[in-house]
Amino acid sequence: MRDSDVRKALKERLHTQHVDDPHTVILEEMGVWSGSVRIDVAVINGELNGYELKSDRDTLERLPLQADIYSRVFDRLELVVGQRHATKAEAMIPKWWGVTVARYDAPSVRLEQYRPSQLNPTPDPYLIAQLLWKEEVLTLLDQLGLAHGWRGKRVKALHLRLAEQIPLPELRRIVRETLKKRTDWLR
């Protein structure tokens, strides 16, 4: 079972779940941590949910770093893992992550939920703010009356200002809404 088989099954499931919701955006390979790490699939609506895929052909070498970074950004996370890695991978992720096991059921892949996801208990406002591009941050700071004297600053300073000045629930909402409006994801 390959990554593409698991990805296809997950995309079909997510499409079925969200087909009638015009406020949901489903993205593949969304950049996190200033774009240096990419989650396999993200769903943006009233929450920011991430799905990391590990097929039977993948290794789990990068999973600890991915789990650490994704756990600072997403509201909920789900590991979609092949049977071969299921037990070992589950031990490498936080307990609040959901786990779905991908099983080959000829001619397709069947996804079986093993553990439902829970709400992230410790999101990091700075990493959430880092999901936004510099122009987006400046626009938000301007709308909030917080941009004066900050236009020439580096993007990291702007992300920090946004994270420090906006309460976390509002920051999460603003970031989700901004991401849903973005049309040019390939920067």
Q: State residue 76's pLDDT score.
A: 98
Mean pLDDT of 126-134: 95
Ranges 48-57, 105-114, 123-132: which has the least confidence: 105-114
Annotate 83-92 with b (16+ C-beta within 10 A) or e (fewer).
eebbeebbee
Query: Measuring CA to CA, which residue among 109, 102, 132 is closest to residue 30?
Result: 132
Question: In the CATH hierarchy, which top-level class contains the domain 3-115?
Answer: alpha beta
Q: Comparing 168 with 183, which gets the higher pLDDT?
A: 168
Specify whether the CB–CB gap between 53 and 3 falls below 8 A: yes
Confidence of residue 142 (pLDDT cuts 50, 70, 90): very high
Confidence of residue 145 (pLDDT cuts 50, 70, 90): very high
Q: How far apart are CA 128 and CA 73, in angstroms?
A: 5
Specify whether the CB–CB gap between 111 and 100 falls below 8 A: yes
Residue 186 has pLDDT above 60, yes or no: no
Rounded to the nearest 10 degrees, the angle between the axes of helix 155-165 and helix 134-143 is 40
Average pLDDT over all residues of the chain: 93
| Local structure of residue 160 (DSSP, 8 states) | H
Residue 19: other Cβ atoms inside 10 A: 8
Residue 141 has pLDDT above 60, yes or no: yes
Instruction: Give me the long-range contacts of 10-15 (CB less than 8 A, separation at least 24).
Output: 10/41, 10/51, 10/53, 10/80, 10/111, 11/41, 13/111, 14/41, 14/43, 14/51
Mean pLDDT of 124-142: 95
Q: What is the pLDDT of residues 44-95, one digit of tens each?
A: 999 999 999 999 999 999 999 999 999 999 999 999 999 999 999 999 999 9
Q: State residue 35's pLDDT score.
A: 74
Confidence of residue 183 (pLDDT cuts 50, 70, 90): confident
Residue 34 has pLDDT above 80, yes or no: no
Q: How far apart are CA 50 and CA 48, in angstroms?
A: 7
Give the residue extent of every domain in the chain.
Answer: 3-115, 125-181
Residue 151 has pLDDT above 60, yes or no: yes
Confidence of residue 33 (pLDDT cuts 50, 70, 90): confident
